[in-house]
Amino acid sequence: MINQEVITSYEYLKKGSVILYPTDTIWGLGCDATNLSAVNRIFTIKKRPSQKSFIILLDEVEKLPFYIEHIPEIAWDLIENAARPTTFIYEGVKNLPSKLIASDGTIAIRIVRNEFCRKLINLLGKPLVSTSANITGLSTPITFNQISQEIIRQVDYVVDPSSVVVEDAKPSTVIRFTDNYSFEIVRE
């Protein structure tokens, strides 16, 4: 069953809005990752340099080939066996705005496991941008109550914090693939 917060968030996202929502790690700013105007708004809200990219969230691993030209062989096992939320950095990005692609031609994608995000992404039918709900350079808020009013005032919709649970409450592990069978841990 899809709850009202998922439906309301979806309605905002499909209009090109920016939302403040719970991810499988921490609270994040998000939008339809294919909507360049919405992506640009998040850069503005965060006061983030345009050369720094964002994480993209997908609801199913089967959707990866639509956004990545070549998925390293080791990726499938790592995604399936990750003990906690893990973001993977891929080369060969396709079907996403160039603004989301890092200067080295890569993109960071996480397959979410939490129910709220999975349902929202599935309903939208597109990946979500996910970035911490803070001004670039300031500390990352771990709980909703730590998010600044400056951020909250600039988004179009805030998911009701009492209606959802943020399970991990810390940023994800980040892994970069170095070839088809090798990787390096960028952030634990």
> What is the chain's alpha carbon radius of gyration, rounded to the nearest angstrom?
15
Neighbours of 69 (CB within 10 A): 10
Partners of residue 93 on adjacent β-strands: 68
Query: Is the pTM of the predicted complex or chain greater than 0.85?
Result: yes
Which residues, listed in sequence order, are joined to residue 141 by a DSSP beta bridge? none
Q: Identify which of 153, 137, 126, 162 has the alpha carbon closest to the alpha carbon of residue 22.
A: 162
Q: How confident is residue 2, by pLDDT bands cut at 50, 70 and 90?
A: low
Split at pLDDT 50, 70, 90, the class of 165 is low
**Fold assignment, 4-187:** DHBP synthase (3.90.870)
State which H helix or E strand residue 39 sits in.
helix 36-46
Tell me which of 163 and 122 has the higher pLDDT. Answer: 122
Give the model's pLDDT for residue 49: 81
In terms of C-beta distances under 8 Å and separation of at least 24 residues, what long-range contacts does 147-152 make, across chains too? 147/20, 147/27, 151/20, 151/29, 151/45, 152/20
